[in-house]
Amino acid sequence: MRLSELSEASGVSTATIKYYLREGLLPPGHRVHATRASYDASHLRRLRLVRALIQVGKVPVATAREILAAVDDESLGLTMRLGAALWSLPRPPAGPDEEDEAAREAAAEVDRMLVEVGWERVRELGPLSPVHRSLVTSVATLRRLGYPCDAAELVPYARQMAGVAAHELDQLEQHPEEVERVESAVAAAVLYEPVLLDLHRLAQEEESQRRYGLAGQEGGATEADPAP
Picking from 58, 53, 67, 12, the residue whose alpha carbon sits closest to that of residue 179 is: 67
- b/e 102-127 (16+ beta carbons within 10 angstroms → b): bbebbbebbeebbeebeeeeebeeee
Q: Are 84 and 68 in contact (CB under 8 A)?
A: no
- pLDDT for position 215: 67
Q: What are phi and psi of 30, to 5 degrees?
A: -80, 120
Dist. CA 114–CA 206, nearest whole Å = 29
Stretch among 20-24, 46-50, 93-97, 141-145 having the lowest mean pLDDT: 93-97
Min mean pLDDT across 82-86, 123-127, 142-146, 224-228 is at 224-228
Answer yes or no: is pLDDT of 194 > 60: yes
Q: Which of 23-32, 48-57, 93-102, 147-156 shows the lowest per-residue confidence on average (mean pLDDT)?
A: 93-102
Beta bridge partners of 158: none
Q: Please list the residues that pair with 115 across neighbouring strands.
A: none
Whether pLDDT at 222 is above 60: no
Is the pLDDT assigned to residue 208 strictly greater than 50? yes
Other CB atoms within 10 A of residue 25 CB:
21
Would you say residue 200 has pLDDT above 60? yes
The residue that leads in pLDDT, 125 or 82, is 125
Dump pLDDT digits (tens) for 17-73. 999 999 999 999 988 877 788 999 999 999 999 988 888 888 889 988 988 888 888
Q: Has residue 100 got a pLDDT over 70?
A: yes
Delimit the domains of the chain by residue range: 3-86, 91-163
Q: Which residue has the higher pLDDT, 72 or 227?
A: 72
pTM, 2 dp? 0.73
What number is the average pLDDT over the span 82-92? 72
Q: What is the mean pLDDT of residues 208-224?
A: 67
pLDDT band at 219 (very low <50, low <70, confident <90, very high): low
pLDDT at 84: 75
Whole-angstrom distance, CA of residue 50 vs CA of residue 174: 21
3-state secondary structure of 192: coil
> What is the third-level CATH fold of 3-86?
Multidrug-efflux Transporter Regulator; Chain: A; Domain 2 (1.10.1660)
The residue type of 159 is R
Alpha helices (H) in the chain, listed in sequence order = 3-10, 14-22, 41-51, 61-72, 78-87, 101-117, 120-125, 130-144, 151-172, 178-191, 193-212
pLDDT tier at 228, thresholds 50, 70, 90: very low
